[in-house]
Structure 1
């Protein structure tokens, strides 16, 4: 890979470059969690007013993990003369423990939102997502992914690309870089024999959530009613994520930034790459929820064109059933249509997609077209 392919995409180091929000939250080694989520006993690292905007420097874990040497500067620069984020270097060199039993994600937050109380919903409007670096990784690790036991096919970590000499434990990490082509930003992966494969970029945060009402440790990998690692690719710029509030202040957090992901996320990771995210955090009181989410009390994504209820369970069949139940509850509660009509509509016009199958708890989401309900709005 020629380093000239990265021209025109500046590196956004902590505290440098545009900050669009009223508040700014970097990923500091003494504030982030690595592999774990905030819970009811967590202390906020930032407090904001209802409706405030926050710019968060989220950090990808790829290049920091132990099977890549836990030395991001050395690891990433195998692939070219590229800039490495200072916060990645700081966190990898810190005393933060990250073992095979921990989740991989660097989790930034939590942020307390004034006025949020249990029973409310936190509305997260995604206002902006900016590349912090012009590269990322797609990784496949033993015991994980849709084809665990079949992939990685190289059991001994022999580098699959001559420049990737630091991987261990059978991990295969494909370096991807960003280029502007024909007016669009694309990701590229070396496909061998002098060829590359390219694909469209569509960035989003794979992990956004609120603290669970428990004092027990909460792992970062499985998603749930708190949101967390839901990996729904539709939650990009212009989208809104609705999250149940379980503790005072909501305690919002973010991480797992992606430049692109296919539904299913079958290898294990998407194109993992750091993003500067600006979000608006607003509280919807419990009394107002039926007119917004109907009868749903689990994460819901809204875009300009769709409402997207979710379903999550370790069993993919049950995740599908949960998604159908929540889609029925949304339509029945918000629009007052009979539940049997809601189910019939979903069978005729609802699109159910597999969010991901790689995070222990599997995800299914339903795309409900807003245009079908214009006479009800």
Structure 2
């Protein structure tokens, strides 16, 4: 086993650990450990809410999820010799739930969760159709996930980090804040908001000195979106065996990561759409000196996915076009067409006895595939969502005898509060 350079004790909160991570991006957050090019090492990760979501049959914790505090990231880790303009090579050697802890109160101890977030607290891809808070708990049996809240399905997990990235430079951080601030200014009272500005409340900044904490907290970027440094990309295929090439913007690169997922569908459409968990990840790092210029990489990460994806041979797919629910034509709107494809899939699954919320939670958690199937035929973009048929314990295909009716069980818990 590689050396653990960022340990986490499951009996302690994130802020009480031996080494303190962070939940904001800023170039002045000091590294908690250093590694050399060619090193392999293990990092422990806490799920993104640090234990605020519990294994029960209520969704009140999802309704009141403390979004100010996310994501609880492990790091930063300094890579010796890394300089701005280099490419940082990160190989994911292994990744999984919390080792030797298959039961307990923390997500990752034999279970994880998926949530539909309230429109007033985060929202989601389909928040207009699903404005209330719901939750599904998933139990892990080896590589297989099942849920008492979404019955009659099981599937293998494709475990991956939802978030990994390098630290921004001061100039890049300023660019983020300016452009996202300008977007917010176009509709500052929108719910959910258009973007998340710097927020000093609940900021965790690692080893930033007390004298600088207030200033850094007021500048540091929230970790919610993906950006030029990688960040919260939520790419389900970035699993074991993946090699990622990250641009380096500061001396040492200052790599950070977290937000582990047991499984996820393309798009993580409920916002908390993956099966969230804590766990471990083993990494190997190296450098390509001057690689950003050599390969024309200035504002993006490149990755080569591993080969551990679950193998499915049959799918049922649903298409959507860029026409709104009330019939308004939009021009090549791929975001809208993927929404419509997902809504068509949800409507189809309700014919088998699932509630719309159960179907929505399933699309967020299961290894569905989302595709841009047509982006040139004006005026309609076409997107598709593919669902593996084998994840169901019944025949989900259309047939002359009509849809099988599942036993919905206790259903997905909904918060009774607003």
TM-score category, normalised to shorter length: 0.5 to 0.7
Q: CA deviation at 1:191?
A: 4.1
Alpha-carbon deviations, 1:280-338, whole Å to 9, x = none?
Answer: 12111115863xx4556411111357xxxxxxxxxx9699xxxxxxxxxxxxxxxxxxx
Assess if the C-alpha contact under 8 Å between 1:123 and 1:282 holds in 2. yes
RCO greater where, 1 or 2, for CA within 8 Å and sep 6 or more? 2
Distance between the aligned counterparts of 1:51 and 1:289, measured in 2? 22
Does 1:285 find its partner at 2:289? yes
Unaligned regions of 5+ residues in structure 2, if any?
9-13, 58-63, 99-108, 171-215, 308-331, 336-368, 373-382, 384-418
Counterparts in 2 of 1:90-129, with a 5 A limit? 102=68, 104-129=70-95
Alignment match, 2:139: 177
Alignment match, 2:5: 24
Distance between the aligned counterparts of 2:252 and 2:299, measured in 1? 18
Assess if the C-alpha contact under 8 Å between 1:62 and 1:136 holds in 2. no
Distance between the aligned counterparts of 1:107 and 1:304, measured in 2? 23
Does 1:203 find its partner at 2:203? no
Counterparts in 2 of 1:134-153, with a 5 A limit? 134-143=110-119, 144-153=123-132
Alignment match, 1:64: 51
Unaligned regions of 5+ residues in structure 1, if any?
1-19, 69-74, 80-97, 154-170, 306-315, 320-350, 355-363, 365-377
Do the aligned partners of residues 175 and 287 (structure 1) sit closer, same or farther apart at CA in structure 2, a change above 3 Å counting? Answer: closer
Assess if the C-alpha contact under 8 Å between 2:247 and 2:292 holds in 1. no
* Divergent runs of 4+, >3 A: 30-35, 98-101, 287-290, 293-297, 316-319, 351-354
Residue-pair matches, total: 243
Does 1:273 find its partner at 2:271? no
Q: CA deviation at 1:63?
A: 6.6
Distance between the aligned counterparts of 1:267 and 1:287, measured in 2? 36
Do the aligned partners of residues 253 and 63 (structure 1) sit closer, same or farther apart at CA in structure 2, a change above 3 Å counting? Answer: closer
Distance between the aligned counterparts of 1:150 and 1:228, measured in 2? 28
Alpha-carbon deviations, 1:10-47, whole Å to 9, x = none?
Answer: xxxxxxxxxx223421245254445423x211111001
Distance between the aligned counterparts of 2:371 and 2:296, measured in 1? 21
Distance between the aligned counterparts of 1:100 and 1:304, measured in 2? 33
Match of 1:236 among 236, 239, 252: 239
Distance between the aligned counterparts of 1:137 and 1:172, measured in 2? 11
Q: CA deviation at 1:219?
A: 0.8
Match of 1:190 among 143, 148, 151: 148
Alignment match, 1:261: 264
Q: Secondary structure at the match of 2:270?
A: coil
The Cα RMSD (Å) is: 3.1
Distance between the aligned counterparts of 1:64 and 1:304, measured in 2? 30
The structure in which a higher percent of residues are strand is 1
TM-score, length basis structure 1: 0.58
Alpha-carbon deviations, 1:113-160, whole Å to 9, x = none?
Answer: 00000000111100011221221000111121111132144xxxxxxx
Does 1:48 find its partner at 2:39? no
